[in-house]
Structure 1
Amino acid sequence: MICRKIEELRQGCLGLIRRASPYNLGDPPSSSRMTTADNSSQVTQTAHQLVEQLDALPRTLQARPSRSGAELSVGILLWPRFPMLSLGGLCDALRHAADRGDQSRQLRCLWTIVGAQGESVEASCGIPVQAQSTFPDVTQFDYLVVIGGLLPHLDQVDRRYWDYLKQAAEAGVPLIGMCTGSFVLARAGLMEDHVACVHSFHLDDYRRMFPALRVVTHADYLIDGTRITCAGGISVVEMAARLISLHCGPDRASKVIHQMTVSRQGGSSFVERRAALGYLSVEDATVRHAVLLMEENLEAPLNIVVIAKMIGTSVRNLERAFATEMNTSPNEFYRRMRLRYARWMLVNTARKITDIAYECGFADSAHFIRVFREAYGVTPGKLRASRGAAAA
């Protein structure tokens, strides 16, 4: 019953996303859309109903137990000249997930700005933000987030900030580096054996400052064990929605996406993947966590052994869980997921077939075309052509 309800709500949410998306090739010209007061009122009513229904869904089994009374608790460290967009994006995502409607009470999610007593940290736009709590017990947080600032100000912080990060690492609290927060974690010696995701603007800076550490720049964010790094900007919302889905359930993430959807002209995004793949609602936390990792790594598929290790189980247990919940193996589910995303992009975007093949983890277009035809009985090119003719 719950699964069916979530699917119904998901379809309603995706309808709104598609109307706002530049990839919806079948949309009518903008001049014909929602031009009357009645239509505008209907859209508003539908949006409110969707949020109300998402809020009314029963809580799902958490994929990860929380360290606090809430389902997700986040501590936030601000570095001098940090980007306000990152702080606002993270906190707004959490507040939408935390309460009903727009009441914004910290119920299901908690967020706290940590720092020296009475101290304010100035954002890059010049607005100061004051700390709410003076270095509390770090174990109360499920994640400790550091939002980095302008690189010339990297070392201009109280020593206690560095010590607090190291305390969190020693206590096993996952650390999140947002924007140049990855530089902060690396400078603190906390990125050894971990890969960082940085914005392309700072790629050369990271390589120059930390030549022995691994870094990528093709992703919005990267989950690498107990280290999560995010390139910043609108990617913050995508990362926050991922954590909310993991801790609070797909209905909470759906609400965040509905309230904070950001459309982009290129590159895969969390919104695209959600539109293509939908939300998985199963009771088994092992399966849910594995699927989240699969979704994060469509372009460079993870080995099932690696997935099992990352979620703290054995390959045998993972295979048994998938057989019970999904009636298939993890490898086969992963392959179908990549093909389903490829099919969605063929229908909803104008990207080249070769680019779609690479983005869905296929080594070359010939292999992709063969596997796609076996799965759907038609080649990618013919599917796109037939959909184009139907739309015309």
Structure 2
Amino acid sequence: MEFWTPERPDGQEPDVRFAFILTPAFTILPLAGFADAVRHSSDEADRSRQIFCHWEVLGHDLAPVHSSTGMAITPWKTYAEAGAYDYIVVVGGLIDQLEGVHPDTYEFLRQAHAKGTKLVGLCTGSFALARTGLLNGRRAAIHAHHRPEFMRMFPDVVPVENELYVSEGDILTCPGGTAAIDLAVEILIEHCGRSRGMKGLTALVVDEHRSAHEVGRLPYQDLEECGNWRVEQAIRIMRQKLREPDTTEHLAEMLGSTVRQLNRVFLQHAKATPQEVWRDMRLQHARWRLMNSKRTITQISYECGFSDSSHFSRWFKTKFGETPKRYREQRLAKQR
């Protein structure tokens, strides 16, 4: 079977080489986002030639791999035919289908890593990388929904939920979705320069490149699935009322509970009172807004339910060690 692989001009070596490995029932969005960012950085305009970047799709055989949508992609080469790469990108998907990953895949990843190739896990690709044993003692970016299962399966790996991607030197992980674009751009900037690395953002209709800490994950999302209905419902109410926080008494009343019951279950599951969790949710949201919007600090303090900006600043400094103004200035400076 032949595949369309745009030719590179004679004598032109790419700045970076990628190989993609797709697990059974892989998710299309992170693969498409990552691959398209690479494609746009690889050539001028929208010609898609593999000039500055090179990419291939690998498999233990050449049988089509079906995505979680049922759409399939056929590998271009087997592991035996693989070339040299700077990065091998493992695209995960449905967890219950990971048992279908061929043992040769794990051995290929171990051997590539031993030769100095960097590994990337997109979506539940982090699960596949963890199965190689190479993530033991390291941090890995995990979607909040997958955290309990990841911790049960890989107790020697540190799950991270509040970052868009995690770089542990030669192993990078990302929880999937559009965060895969940000990770790809970060890699492309390193190898191709900032201008070329960010070239695809406009074509992909992405406003700006987000750094790892600018996560859009909802704070305390894991508590929405903790198994206690009072906590789960309370967190959902809190999220809806970030701008207008209420008393614990009224929150308990809305849940048909007592303040004592609500405090007890929150201390059990969140190790904090409802009011402490509520305030922390608002501070986490405010921090995200500082980095991802042009709203003033006064506007953000109001929109996150604080009575005034000075009250907001005091709580923010207590939580994050810096004033909101200082926090924004320092991190925006790092992006320039």
TM-score range, shorter chain: 0.5 to 0.7
Report how far residue 89 of structure 1 moved: 1.0
Note the 1:126-137 alignment, pairs <5 A. 126-135=70-79
**Aligned position for 1:247:** 191
SS in 1 for 2:129: helix
Residue 368 in 1 paired to residue 323 in 2?
yes
**Aligned position for 1:212:** 156
**Aligned position for 2:258:** none
Gap change, CA 1:209 and 1:217, over 3 Å in 2:
same
Gap change, CA 1:235 and 1:117, over 3 Å in 2:
same
Letter in 2 for 1:161: T
Letter in 1 for 2:300: R
Which residue, 129, 138, 141 being the options, matches 1:185? 129
Gap change, CA 1:136 and 1:214, over 3 Å in 2:
same
Gap change, CA 1:350 and 1:168, over 3 Å in 2:
farther
Once the two structures are aligned, what percentage of the paired residues are identical? 30
TM-score (norm 2): 0.63
**Aligned position for 1:170:** 114
**Aligned position for 1:351:** 300
Note the 1:310-349 alignment, pairs <5 A. 345-347=294-296
Alpha-carbon distance between aligned partners in 2 of 1:121 and 1:229, rounded to the nearest angstrom = 21
Note the 1:78-157 alignment, pairs <5 A. 78-135=22-79, 140-157=84-101
Report how far residue 357 of structure 1 moved: 9.5
SS in 2 for 1:196: strand
Contact 2:164 2:212 in 1 (8 A): no
Letter in 2 for 1:203: R
TM-score (norm 1): 0.54
Report how far residue 247 of structure 1 moved: 0.6
Report how far residue 78 of structure 1 moved: 0.4
Alpha-carbon distance between aligned partners in 1 of 2:297 and 2:209, rounded to the nearest angstrom = 10
Alpha-carbon distance between aligned partners in 2 of 1:237 and 1:183, rounded to the nearest angstrom = 20
Deviations 1:37-66 (A, max 9, x none): xxxxxxxxxxxxxxxxxxxxxxxxxxxxxx
Deviations 1:247-302 (A, max 9, x none): 10111123112222336xxxxxxx265xxxxxxxxxxxxxxxxxxxxx54589xxx
Alpha-carbon distance between aligned partners in 2 of 1:347 and 1:132, rounded to the nearest angstrom = 50
Gap change, CA 1:180 and 1:365, over 3 Å in 2:
closer
Gap change, CA 1:357 and 1:144, over 3 Å in 2:
farther
Gap change, CA 1:171 and 1:132, over 3 Å in 2:
same
Aligned pairs, how many? 238
Contact 2:58 2:82 in 1 (8 A): no
Report how far residue 350 of structure 1 moved: 4.7
**Aligned position for 1:235:** 179
Report how far residue 157 of structure 1 moved: 2.5
Deviations 1:123-160 (A, max 9, x none): 00001110001115767111111011211111213221
Contact 1:234 1:262 in 2 (8 A): no
Gap change, CA 1:90 and 1:296, over 3 Å in 2:
closer
SS in 1 for 2:159: strand
Question: Greater relative contact order: 1 or 2 (C-alpha under 8 angstroms, separation 6 or more)?
Answer: 1
Gap change, CA 1:252 and 1:347, over 3 Å in 2:
farther
Alpha-carbon distance between aligned partners in 2 of 1:220 and 1:184, rounded to the nearest angstrom = 18
Contact 1:138 1:168 in 2 (8 A): no
Report how far residue 72 of structure 1 moved: 1.2
Contact 2:87 2:119 in 1 (8 A): yes
Gap change, CA 1:256 and 1:347, over 3 Å in 2:
farther
SS in 1 for 2:300: coil
Contact 2:62 2:75 in 1 (8 A): yes
Gap change, CA 1:357 and 1:164, over 3 Å in 2:
farther
Alpha-carbon distance between aligned partners in 2 of 1:86 and 1:78, rounded to the nearest angstrom = 11
Contact 2:198 2:209 in 1 (8 A): no
Alpha-carbon distance between aligned partners in 2 of 1:153 and 1:188, rounded to the nearest angstrom = 17
Alpha-carbon distance between aligned partners in 1 of 2:78 and 2:314, rounded to the nearest angstrom = 49
Contact 2:92 2:124 in 1 (8 A): yes
- As a proportion of its length, which structure holds more helix? 1
Report how far residue 69 of structure 1 moved: 2.3
Residue 256 in 1 paired to residue 200 in 2?
yes
SS in 2 for 1:90: helix
Report how far residue 212 of structure 1 moved: 2.5
Report how far residue 117 of structure 1 moved: 3.5
Alpha-carbon distance between aligned partners in 2 of 1:140 and 1:88, rounded to the nearest angstrom = 22
Contact 2:21 2:57 in 1 (8 A): yes
Please identify, of 90-99 and 115-124, the stretch whose mean Cα deviation from structure 2 is larger: 115-124
Letter in 1 for 2:323: F
Structure 1, unmatched stretches of 5+, are 1-67, 264-270, 274-294, 300-337, 377-392
Letter in 1 for 2:54: L
Gap change, CA 1:174 and 1:349, over 3 Å in 2:
farther
Alpha-carbon distance between aligned partners in 1 of 2:110 and 2:312, rounded to the nearest angstrom = 41
